[in-house]
Every structure is written in C-alpha cells, then in structure tokens.
Amino acid sequence: MQGSQNTQNYSEDAIRTLDWKEHIRKRPGMYIGKLGDGTFADDGIYVLLKEVMDNSIDEFMMGNGKKIEVTVQDGRVSVRDYGRGIPLGKVIDVASKMNTGAKYDSKAFKKSVGLNGVGIKAVNALSTEFNVYAYREGQSKRVEFCRGEVLTDHGIEESGEKNGTYIEFAPDVTIFENFKYREEYIETLLRNYTYLNKGLSIVFNGKTFQSKNGLLDLLNENMDTEGLYPIIHLEDEDIEIAITHGNQYGEEYYSFVNGQHTTQGGTHLVAFREAYVKTIRDFYNKSFDVSDIRSGVIAAISIKVEEPVFESQTKTKLGSKDVGPKGPSVRNFILDFVTEHLDNFLHRNAESAEILNRKILDSERERKAISGIKKLARERAKKVSLHNKKLRDCRIHYTDIKKDENSDSSIFITEGDSASGSITKARNVNSQAVFSLKGKPLNSFGLSRKVVYENEEFNLLQAALNIEDGLDTLRYNHVIIATDADVDGMHIRLLLLTFFLQFFPELVKNGHVYILQTPLFRVRNKKKTFYCYSDEEKHTAIKKCGAKPEITRFKGLGEISPDEFKHFIGKDIRLEPVRMKKDVTVKELLEFYMGKNTPDRQNFIIDNLVVEEDLVNED
C-alpha cells in the first residue's frame, strides 16, 4: 500500500521547471559555494565580487583597459573597468540569460577565467540591487535588476564616458544574513589579481595596488622573513614560477590559473610539486626523500590554459589535463619547463644551489633523528583515537568539503571536561568535532619539531588535525580555539597559537584558525533572553528588557549549558579569524609574546591593561 501511495504522489504535477534565477536562489551553493556572513575568506559575498572582477580581468588579459576601480561601502559593491564594454544590444542577455557570453569564442577570450556564462548571472540573482552600465564608442546602456528581474531598461543613450563596464550590486540580506565585508580579504583577492597581471592597476576604496615583478612580488609580500636564498623567478609566455625556502616547517604554495587563485590547487600544482622534486634529485644526483626536498619550500606558480576545466563553479581547483585542445598535458608542460629552467638556474647560481643543498640535508638529519619517536607517537595517537579519549570526531571532513562546497567542517579545541562536555553535547555531529586538552599546553617557542612527537598533547592534536605531512590532508576547514575568557583561557589560547605558528604557520596563513567568541552575559526576563558579548550589548539588552532583568556573568564555558551552547556554535556562531599583520614576522611575534620576559613586554602589558568593572549588579 505504501509503494502504491508513493507512486500516486509522484505525478506530472510534482514535476517543476525552475527558471534560471529561481534555481540560483534555491540552490546558491551550486554557483557560489557556501554562503556565510563574511567571516571566512571563501564566503559567498567575496565570490560575488570575484565573479564580477573575473570579467574585468579577462578584458585586461585580452589587452583592454589597464585600470579597474573597486568600491565597497556599507555592503554595496561597485566595479568599473575600462575594457571594451559589453555590446550594448546584449547587456540584458549577458546579465540575465544563462550560458550567454563571449567566453565561448576562444578568439575573443583565448585564456579566460570565466567560460560557462554563469558567474555574473549568479551575482544578479543573489542581489537585491544589480545595476549594469555599458559604455561603448560614445554610447551607453544602463539596466537595473532586482533578484534577477529587470526593473528598468534605460535604452541606449549618448555618453562621454570611456569604454568599459560599470557594475554595482548589493547582496540579498535574506540570503547573506548579517553579512559584512572584511577589507583584508578583499585586499588579498585584489593583490593577487595584480601579481598575476603585471601592468594592471586596481584602485580599492582609494588605495592603489599594482605589481611590477609578478610572483616575485607575491612571495616578498607574503613571506615573514627573507628566504634562505634569493627567490628563484622563472617565467615564459604561459607560465611563471617563484621559489625559495624558509626555516619554517611544512610547505607553502600559491597557485593560479589564468589569473584565478586556485586555493585548492589542482593538476598544475600536483605537476609542479612532482617536477620540482624530480629536478632537484637530478641536479644533485641524489635520491633525496620527497619530504626533505619540500620541507620549508615557499613557492608560487601561475599558468595560462585554454578553456580551463575547474572542479567547481567557484574555480578553486583546476581539473584540466591539457593546456589546450592542441597543447601538451599540464603535467608535461610544467615538467618540461621546470626541468629546463630550474636546472639551468641552479647551474648558473652555485651559491643558491649550495644553500638549498644544506637545507635539504638539515631536513634529512632532523627527520632521521626523530624517526623512532614519530613511530611511537603514531602508535600512541592510534590507541587514544581508538578509545576516543581526546577526540570526539565528526562525520564530514575537509576532504569531503573539497568535493561538496556546501559542506563545512570544524574542530573545537577546548580545555577541561565541563567545557568539552557542553560543546560535545551541543555540536552538530556531522560537521563539528571536539578535541579536549588536558591542562595547559607546553610553551613550544624555540623548540624543535621533536617536541611535537614527544609531547602527548601536541602529538595527539597534530594527529587529530592530520597535518604531519602538510595541509593537503587537513581534516577540518576551521580549527577553532574555544577557551574561557579569563587569564588562564587567554594563556592557553596563546600557547596553542604559538604551537601552530612555530610548526604549522601555513595553517594560520591560509585562514584556518579561529577564536570562538562566547557571550560574557545573559540578560533575561520572563519573556526575553539576550546573550551579550560585551558591556555595550549588555546595556542595550537591559534597556530592551524594561524592568530590572536577571543578569548572569558567564565565568567559563563550563557554566554554559549544552542547550544554550547550541545558540553559540550554530548558524549564529561568532568566530574571530586569526590573522597576522603584514609588517610583523612570526619570529618577532613569538619572541615578543612567548620569549623571555622583557621590559618591552612589561610596558606593553601596563599600557594596555584594562580593569574590568563588575557591572553585573548595575541597574
């Protein structure tokens, strides 16, 4: 009977055909990845900006327009380029008809980022205001949209504006709730465009970005300290590479295709890593271990590919096997280039070659010295995982997210049974894991990597994150430090950050580490409850409650019940990303905060000391 009933419900009336904008709004993740509110660099509001920028970049790459102006203010975005301008008779089609654009014609856009005619339509459908101005040969056309619907078609008019396109949009707040653009994320996005497009000038809110030396500038801007040897900068018509080594552990890569930052790598990055190892082994005529060759490497690679195939609409991972319909494979193209040019460089630069050789040998000695400890540490980590003493795992991991951009994966690192217990009971078991620390971690500043395996807490944390061999195997997209907002909690937070910066700096640099913000106060009466993250929010809540409310000051995470915790680690979670200022190095930072006590640090503490007033009993 049940089967018969289901058959009856599955009728012709159950079949629906959504138009383009309905489909985008109903399934936005298919077009822009996850939504978010701007806390993370890959949140949807930045993808909207990127989709508009990609079209302007493609114009520049085809030799049209050397300046792009970007303004972001009060949640509104505008982008003005000085390319050829959208053909006036096709403005509505380009902005609102799926699979419409010039990118299908390889003569007009030979090596373009956007090829499927979807991106700008997604921005249109997901914006409450989307206005397009096209300027072309003394004429202009302006069209205004709302959520993909044409509001006003102003027709073709005379214009004194220079050729190009101007687009402004406001993301839909019903989809991107409480969103806020962070300028540092936008600046990183725009800087990367200039590194990949020498001669391009991008003006963002009055600040100008440009690059004369491409990937050489990118590495210099992003490195904490000078490399062990001068950056090796190699380039040809469709490929550019910059390489050096630092004293840090792990590997650090920046990869690009047709000006697009492929944050998840792809076939080109795999090929480069393989080619680099092969070239080094051949040059020194030694079968060095792969991990020794790559330990401490800092590199950037950019290639141009005809009709690139990406593994998702947001274009964060290249899937192309070939550089073009008639070209070689991506692997062979990169292998041939690196083998020839890097080998030639090393032969011509004996001093750099010698420094690189010493770095590899140092890594080899350290690896062999701790090989026995690593084996024991791995066995210990497996036993702890089996008994589930430290890690309450989730079902979805970062490797799954790379296949499904609508997914998410986080791990909360907390201290104490009560706090970890509350988070464990309140978490989403599909996407949120909990790692419980036992007391305060060791101050790892200045210690060698040997301590990672000798210290049980560090060994188990490394094993839980699965980052021993780099971020390729990272199991959680968001590594969230969840400690009490008191002196002990702050100290634990500093010790964890020291561990990450000392041994896995790329975890912080790549935007994976966050601090969980939890409320300091609960203000409630019989009808309303407010959770307040500051004194200012508390005073506002008191006023909203009217009569004298009940005010609770949370002294620790363990005091927050699991039912309440669901509010703080659910869709309204407040996370503060851990970022480093460009003018501060990891070494300087750790020496100041975690090194031996100094008068400078004492003066800093005194100058920044805040005595918290006990306002719980006010009013």
Closest CA relative to residue 290, chosen from 301, 300, 280, 303: 280
Please give the DSSP secondary-structure letter assigned to residue 354.
H
546: left (phi over 0), alpha (psi -120 to 50) or beta: left
**Host H or E run for residue 125:** helix 119-125
Amino acid at 92: I
Q: Is residue 517 within 8 Å of residue 532, measured between CB atoms?
A: no
β-strands 297-303, 252-257 pairing: parallel
Give me the long-range contacts of 204-212 (CB less than 8 A, separation at least 24). 204/70, 204/71, 204/72, 205/70, 205/71, 205/72, 205/73
Amino acid at 61: M
CA–CA separation, 383 vs 116, rounded Å?
49
Closest CA relative to residue 431, chosen from 382, 466, 478: 478
Closest CA relative to residue 218, chosen from 302, 92, 292: 302
Residues 6+ apart with CB under 8 A from 469: 291
Q: Is 581 exposed, middle or buried (0-12, 13-18, 19+ CB in 10 A)?
A: exposed
Q: Is residue 322 within 8 Å of residue 121, measured between CB atoms?
A: no
Please give the DSSP secondary-structure letter assigned to residue 173.
T
Question: What is the set of active-site residues?
Answer: 415, 484, 486, 488
Q: Is residue 399 within 8 Å of residue 362, measured between CB atoms?
A: no
The torsion of the CA quartet 342, 347, 353, 354, rounded to 10 degrees, works out to: 170
Q: What angle do CA 396, 397, 403 make, to 5 degrees?
A: 90
Q: Is residue 109 within 8 Å of residue 5, measured between CB atoms?
A: no
CA–CA separation, 499 vs 277, rounded Å?
28
Residues 6+ apart with CB under 8 A from 604: 592
